[in-house]
Chain A
Amino acid sequence: MDRRQLLAAMAATAGSSAGPVFAQPRGEQLLVVMWGAQWIEVCRPIGEEWMRATGDRIQWELHAGGAMAVVGRLRPLWPRIQQNLIAAWDPVFDAMMEAGWMEPVDPAEMPALREIPDIFFKKNAQGQRMTVPLSTAGAFWGYRTDLVSGTPIESIEQLLEPRFRGKLCVPVPVNLSGLLMVSLAIQRGGNERNIEPGWQFLTELARRGNIGRVVANNSEMISAMSAGDLSVAFWNTGGWQAVRNRFPCRLLTRLTDNKGFLFNEGFAVMRGDNPARIAAAKRFANHFATAPINTRYNMPLGSGPTNVNSQAAESIRDIFYTPEELPRFAYIPDYSFMASQVDAWTRRWEQEITPLIRRA
């Protein structure tokens, strides 16, 4: 008997002795990986209600850095992994799909998927739906308007100015899978496949001492941008939402010489050898995809719900584009290509950027 079976057995005995009079089905124990900060704050109560309603047990594990880290961490362990659902986004979905870890999802088992437009799903070669899309989110440059005085930022070229010395908060390359470099590359005429101009821009920023802090996850970004010594950041909409709730911020979603990035976040159902547990994981993921929960989940994250019957938060209007604006201001890079570059970009960052930030 392994630990998990033991826990399940203990839970079952506890349920039978102290539980309600009606028969509780023996619940499944699910391990669900989620991001920290508001993500886990909104998910914990949803999970608790679910546990009371179904008897399944939800154990949350938190992403320590970006979601991509989980792929690196689980790869050597596969297929002996315990995770049943992993919250992730486009490049991570691509990496896990390529590794063959994900279970296809089907509206026959998960009816709420019928209310999500087809375009949001990632599909495998056989055309099966592979992801449970929950949000449309983005990554943007932005700044705290209470801290940046003088000319407002209209182009990220301005970030080279001396007034931003030590003021920039940027993600480590593994986080957001390198979107920072892509954004900087676009500014200088490149893109994710022509990344060199981005590195040059980044080197200039680091050499001038303008990069004040390198953060590894949402929670660090939110604390760093709340402390008051940093004023500009490149980050996802969830982190920005938390900062915007505390301080006046402006997101640079409509830059004339650069683009914002859009992507989908959601759940990946992991393959495994226990069909009952996979079914339980699908039921839980389906619960998140239903309109009321999808609305509730996206509200504090400042992201757009994917279920057509959900409500979007009023505050996120400026983040989303009309169909005409979309090609002008937004860009959807080749996320699966970026996923393959994370190792090389991380090592280049260590070799070229960190020493510059230290010396500046």
Chain B
Amino acid sequence: MRRLPFAAWLLLPGGLALLLLMGGPVAVLLAESLRPFVPGSMRPGEGLTLQNYRDLLAPAYLFYAWETFRIGLIVSALSVLGAAPLAFAAVRSPRPAVRKGLLALLVGLLVMSLIARLYAIEMAWGSLGPLAPIGALTGIAPRSPRYAEVQVAIGLLHFTLPVVALMLVGAFRALSPRLEEAAASLGATRADAVLSVVLPLAAPAMVSGFLVALAMCISNFIAPLLLGRGVVVFTTSLMYTRFADIGNYPSGAAIGISMLLLSFAVVYGLAALARRALR
């Protein structure tokens, strides 16, 4: 028999961790999701059922999944859009103080508590906050229930933007400034050089930043919980309600499994699409 490479042994702890901390739990979750729910009792009923999944096909639940996804797409696009110039300035600004300041801001936000930031957003962008007039530019009045959507999006953007920016900082650093210099020597303006040389080369990093942001958005639930005014409901919120409020574990498990599939489909599916498009 062929001897296993030494490397295989190094996989052992990691493999065990994956098996015990992800594989096992997901399997238990799957089993739980197939049990019938008996209202008023915590003991799951006898037998197996697909009812918990069938319930999720109601139009309202498809609506929540779509809303979660739609807000996630908008926020991810905005975070790439905002992060790109920021990251570029943080890498290429001629002034060292600007570079350092921007990087410190990004690292600082990464380590600062998300909850504290979300409440800060509620205070600043809420209907009484000083930034509410700017929020109204979206066309949604800060006093209307739909404004909760704007607030949740702002909260998520505050969460994803520094992460995407730091990813792009890494990407821009890897690009040699010589490329722009070369373009400039061929008569291109600086803006032209950035647009025609730097952006295409940074495109893969921007795509992966977009996907990471999207994954962060659709699996986040603290932003809708704290900023959603009870009106913006993400798929994650539905699951939490079943666990924390009504004790309907089988239904919560079915939502969890569906989310898992959806999340993998979105992230890996989109990544494959993006790879094909960039090729």
Residues in A lying within 8 Å of B, measured CB to CB: 64-66, 68-69, 71-73, 75-76, 78, 95, 98, 166, 172, 174, 209, 211-216, 220, 227-229, 339-340, 342-344, 346-347, 350-352, 354-355, 357-358, 360
Q: A214's contact among B58, B60, B230, by CB below 8 Å, is which? A: B230
Q: B145's contact among A76, A213, A352, by CB below 8 Å, is which? A: A213
Tell me which of B72-80, B244-252, B268-276 binds A. B244-252
A214 and B230 alpha carbons, distance in the complex (Å)? 5
Flag if B246 contacts A174 (CB, 8 Å).
yes
Q: B42's contact among A75, A174, A340, A351, by CB below 8 Å, is which? A: A75
Say which size band chain B's interface belongs to.
Answer: 35 or more
CB distance from A302 to the nearest CB of B (A): 24
Interface of A is mostly: helix
Which of A212, A227, A352 has its CB near the most chain B CB atoms (within 10 A)? A212
A227 and B58 alpha carbons, distance in the complex (Å)? 35
Closest 3 pairs between A and B when the two form their complex, measured CB to CB: A72-B247, A214-B230, A75-B42
Known pairs A227-B127, A355-B63; A211 contacts B246 (CB<8 A): no
Tell me which of B99-107, B180-188, B194-202, B231-239 binds A. B231-239
Q: B60's contact among A71, A215, A351, by CB below 8 Å, is which? A: A351
Among residues of B, the one whose C-beta sits closest to the C-beta of A360 is B145
Q: Is B128 an interface residue (CB 8 A)?
A: yes
Q: Is B96 an interface residue (CB 8 A)?
A: no
Which residues of the other chain, B, contact A350 by a CB distance below 8 angstroms?
Answer: 60-61, 64, 233, 238, 241
Q: Is B117 an interface residue (CB 8 A)?
A: no
The B19-55 residues at the A interface (CB cut-off 8 A) are 37, 39-40, 42, 55
Flag if B144 contacts A166 (CB, 8 Å).
yes
Among residues of A, the one whose C-beta sits closest to the C-beta of B233 is A354
Which residues of the other chain, B, contact A174 by a CB distance below 8 angstroms?
Answer: 241, 245-246
Flag if A211 contacts B145 (CB, 8 Å).
yes
Q: B40's contact among A172, A211, A340, by CB below 8 Å, is which? A: A340
Interface of B is mostly: loop
Which of B40, B126, B142 has its CB near the most chain A CB atoms (within 10 A)? B40
A174 and B244 alpha carbons, distance in the complex (Å)? 11
A69 and B243 alpha carbons, distance in the complex (Å)? 9
Flag if B245 contacts A166 (CB, 8 Å).
no
Which residues of the other chain, A, contact B251 by a CB distance below 8 angstroms?
Answer: 347
Flag if B230 contacts A172 (CB, 8 Å).
yes
Flag if A351 contacts B61 (CB, 8 Å).
yes
Q: Is B173 an interface residue (CB 8 A)?
A: no
Among residues of A, the one whose C-beta sits closest to the C-beta of B143 is A229
Known pairs A227-B128, A343-B246, A344-B39; A212 contacts B233 (CB<8 A): no
Q: B39's contact among A76, A211, A343, A357, by CB below 8 Å, is which? A: A343
CB distance from A185 to the nearest CB of B (A): 20
Which of A213, A214, A343 has its CB near the most chain B CB atoms (within 10 A)? A343
A214 and B241 alpha carbons, distance in the complex (Å)? 14
Q: A76's contact among B126, B144, B249, by CB below 8 Å, is which? A: B249
Flag if B233 contacts A64 (CB, 8 Å).
no
Known pairs A351-B61, A358-B231; A340 contacts B39 (CB<8 A): yes
The B243-271 residues at the A interface (CB cut-off 8 A) are 243-249, 251
Among residues of A, the one whose C-beta sits closest to the C-beta of B126 is A227
Among residues of A, the one whose C-beta sits closest to the C-beta of B141 is A166
CB distance from B140 to the nearest CB of A (A): 11
